[in-house]
Amino acid sequence: MSIISKNNNSCSHCNGKADIFSCLCPTELDQIDAKRIEVYFKAGELIFKQGTPNLHFLCLTKGKVKLYIEGYNEKNLIIGIVKPIEYIFGPGIYVDNIHHYSAMAIEDSQACLVDIDLFKKLMRENSDFMEEFIRKVSLLSIINFEQFISLTQKQMPGRIADVLLYLRDKVYEANPFRTTLSRQDLADMSGMSKESAIRILREFKDEGIIQVNGNEFEILNSEHLSKISQTG
């Protein structure tokens, strides 16, 4: 991981896409610009680990990152995949300054790190910015509830369907899509064993609902998949 601060890109460059920062005036953006650190991560590299101090607010500008809770018996639960330009920040910021999940690059990635204290200061000074932030936190929480219900009340086919639809609609925004997530990752997203995930994928393939070729997936029958998602 290599650190390059203050390169030719600036915060205002990201600003167009990165909604939350559009609440900040130029002076405020400059403060962030002056203190932000730009970091590159290779695919597979750990960005931060659950349990370590949470010192930065992170803005992903390139690549993709998986967020996962490290649970019991070496099992992980992937709670989301982040793509540019989106933010990575944990609930620990205002509680205990500890990361409550881990983040790992699943593609070569680039991120800006903003000092948490500066971030908090701007929040206090700019209530539009603050409200946008709360909106983001709240949205995360709502998405969380959905995954919660999916994992606790649906059977395996429904959960795999949810993962496939999530990847197509929210992560890759394409169909077919090629993923760098392993089968183990797909299992960690749907709360089941790797073998079970593979089996369900094969069933979907046999039924003509999806096409699978290594890491390339294509959803052929969207309606059927949505129905499986709903009937659990």
Site string for a copy of itself, 26-65 (x = CB under 8 A): ----------------------------------------
Cβ burial, residue 162 (10 Å; 0-12/13-18/19+) = buried
Site string for DNA, 159-188 (x = CB under 7 A): -----------------------xxx----
Helix (H) or strand (E) holding 80: strand 76-82
86: Cβ–Cβ under 8 A, 6 or more apart, which residues?
Answer: 59, 60
CA distance 192 to 215: 19
What one-letter code names the amino acid at 176?
Answer: P
Q: Which is nearer to DNA, 114 or 192 (CB)?
A: 192
Rounded least distance, CB 29 to a copy of itself, Å: 20
| Exposure string over 30-46, b if 16+ CB within 10 A, otherwise e | ebbbeebebbbbeeebe
Q: Is 134 in the site for a copy of itself (CB under 8 A)?
A: yes
8: Cβ–Cβ under 8 A, 6 or more apart, which residues?
Answer: none
Q: Among residues 95, 117, 169, 215, which is the contact residue for a copy of itself, using CB under 8 A?
A: 95
Q: Is 151 in the site for DNA (CB under 7 A)?
A: no
Q: Binding residues for a copy of itself, per CB under 8 A?
A: 69, 71-73, 75, 77, 79, 91-95, 100-101, 120, 123-125, 127, 130-131, 133-135, 137-142, 144-145, 148-149, 151-154, 191, 230, 232
Binding residues for DNA, rule: CB under 7 A, are 155-157, 182-184, 191-196, 198-199, 201-202, 212, 214-215
